[in-house]
Amino acid sequence: MALAVCGSTADPHGRELISHGTTLFPAACYQDDFFLEDVPCPWHWHDELEAVVVAQGEVLVAAGGARFTVPAGGGFFINTRVLHNVWDHSGQGFRLHSVVFHPRLVGGSLDSVFWQDYLLPLMSPQAPGYVRLDPAVPWNREALAAVEAAWHSAARELPGFQFQIRSALSQLVFQLVSHLPAEPRTPSEKALRDEARVKDMMRFIQAHYARELTTAQIAASASISESECLRCFRATIGATPIQYLRQFRVQKAAELLAGTTLKVGDIGARCGFQEMSYFSKTFRELKGCTPSLYRAQKQGNP
């Protein structure tokens, strides 16, 4: 179970297509280095739980309708099925130690005491969608240490490392469940409806990003007005649907630039950019360099 670089690819629902670990051991540890790219990944969600330690830099995290910064040494936890994203906040790039794991790794079978007493309360609709982990808080510090222990066990791959990872993640879950808010979170019907609508519209965008799209078409995919579409996107992910569309197109283009030999112009057209000049301008705005330079960097031909 070597460390991997996590590149988020989502299905038409915004759900990640990455397989985190294997059926036998459903967990994966990642070292994510973002020192060149302003937009590391599109908004996404997954069934797995995720815990992250910021190893270097400072990041801006968006999850569950909130935004917060996390400096080096701190971290955060993302609950199952929560839309989230992360950006560079310091302007100097950042490095993350991430652990993504399916609840059954810790919870076992659905009728076990681990699942019933620990995983179910943690993943309930009333539980927080995210937790910011501050090393100045004692139990947060223990949770961060558990994440790092799991991550380093994956990096070393010593005999029995799977037991060490499961043990560390069990400690993480225990800390999180033991410190759930006394007052359960009750998401408003409006917030739940907004998120469901945004997921529907993200599904439409990701299925049709290669063609010309308007806000009206995106709104119609969720059977709402343009103004309601804009409000839902801004309330849920802090961006307009067209901004999200541009980001998603650039991300898909980046994947093709890094992994294929298709011509740059053909890639732009495949990703919904009708003009090469607009493709280059948009790509540079979001990735900090031209498509050609990005390909050269990713394919080892600077």
Instruction: Return the domain boundaries, the chain.
Output: 27-178, 189-298
pLDDT for the residue 302? 54
Inter-helix orientation angle 189-208/226-237, to 10°: 100
Matching CATH topology for 27-178 and 189-298?
no
- Closest Cα partner for 49 from 172, 212, 205? 172
pLDDT for the residue 92? 86
Q: Does an H or E element contain 96, and which?
A: strand 94-101
Question: Which of 2.60.120.280, 2.40.50.140, 3.40.50.10420, 3.40.640.10 would CATH assign to domain 27-178?
Answer: 2.60.120.280
Q: Is the pLDDT of residue 26 over 90?
A: yes
- Rounded average pLDDT over 89-107: 93
Amino acid at the residue 289: C
Please, are residues 287 and 40 in contact by the beta-carbon 8 Å criterion? no
pLDDT for the residue 12? 40
- Rounded average pLDDT over 118-146: 95
Tokens 């307009």 belong to residue: 240
pLDDT for the residue 9? 47
pLDDT for the residue 301? 64
Q: Is the pLDDT of residue 100 over 60?
A: yes
Fold of 189-298: Arc Repressor Mutant, subunit A (1.10.10)
